[in-house]
């Protein structure tokens, strides 16, 4: 065997090794992509489930404590007309409701930022914001919301006021 044959054999072996390496890397990339896709889907499902649980928790509180339904109804009518104790309890209840909606909104922004996906929660937000007592509460309280959520609330509140 001469040096030319050895060189050609070495080049052929090198090409085969490179092809095998490329196939291996392609398989690894494909598996990594599939794993990432499954992880994203699992995170989206977990975020959706967290949104549902958050809403269920507030509804459960209202079901188990009829006095909260009365407080919510009275506060919706007028925050200003509530006595100090009821104003404080109404404020905490409203904070919990807004916190739940804010969590859903932030999860949506982080996960996909598809405004169409958030329309159901916007309706919930609108159902809260439409009440005079909530608007009064917002005028006297400045919750520590994320700026994105504050902008959404301000935008929805402006739309509600224009429609009335």
Q: What mean pLDDT is predicted for residues 28-32?
A: 94
pLDDT of the residue at 115: 55
Note the pLDDT tens digit of each residue in 133-142.
999 999 999 8
Residue 1 lies in a domain: no
**Is 48 within a domain?**
yes
What pLDDT sits at residue 98? Answer: 94
- The mean pLDDT of 81-93, rounded to a whole number, is 96
Q: 52 is in which domain, residue-wise? A: 44-163
Predicted structure pTM score: 0.72
Give the per-residue pLDDT at 118. Answer: 66
Q: What residues contact residue 69 under an 8 Å CB cut-off, 6+ apart?
A: 62
pLDDT digits (tens, 9 = 90+) for 106-148: 887 777 655 566 677 788 899 999 999 999 999 999 898 999 8
- In a domain, residue 68? The reply is yes
CA distances from 33 to 14, 23, 29, 56, 155 (A): 28, 15, 6, 34, 38
Most distant pair of Cα atoms in the chain: their distance: 103
DSSP 8-state symbol, 116: G
**Mean pLDDT lowest among 63-72, 100-109, 124-133:** 100-109
Number of domains in the chain: 1
Q: 116 or 79: whose pLDDT is higher?
A: 79
pLDDT at 117: 62
Closest to 98 measured CA to CA, from 139, 61, 134: 134
Q: Indicate whether 102 belongs to any domain.
A: yes
Judge whether 133 lies within some domain: yes
Q: Residue 5 domain-assigned?
A: no
């Amino acid at each position: 065997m001469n040096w030319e044959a050895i060189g050609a054999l070495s080049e052929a072996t090198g090409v085969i090794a490179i092809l095998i390496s490329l196939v291996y890397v392609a398989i690894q990339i494909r598996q990594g992509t599939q794993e990432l896709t499954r992880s994203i889907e699992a995170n989206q499902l977990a975020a959706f489930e967290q949104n549902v649980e958050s809403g269920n928790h507030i509804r459960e509180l209202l079901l188990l404590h009829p006095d909260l339904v009365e407080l919510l109804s009275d506060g919706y009518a007028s925050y200003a007309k509530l006595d100090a104790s009821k104003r404080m309890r109404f404020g905490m209840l409203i904070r919990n409701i807004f916190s739940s909606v804010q969590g859903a909104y932030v999860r949506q922004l982080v996960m996909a930022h598809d405004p169409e996906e958030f329309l159901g929660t916007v309706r919930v937000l609108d159902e809260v914001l439409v009440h005079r007592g909530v608007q009064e509460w917002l005028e006297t309280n400045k919750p520590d919301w994320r700026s994105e959520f504050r902008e959404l609330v301000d935008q929805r509140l402006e739309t509600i006021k224009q429609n009335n």
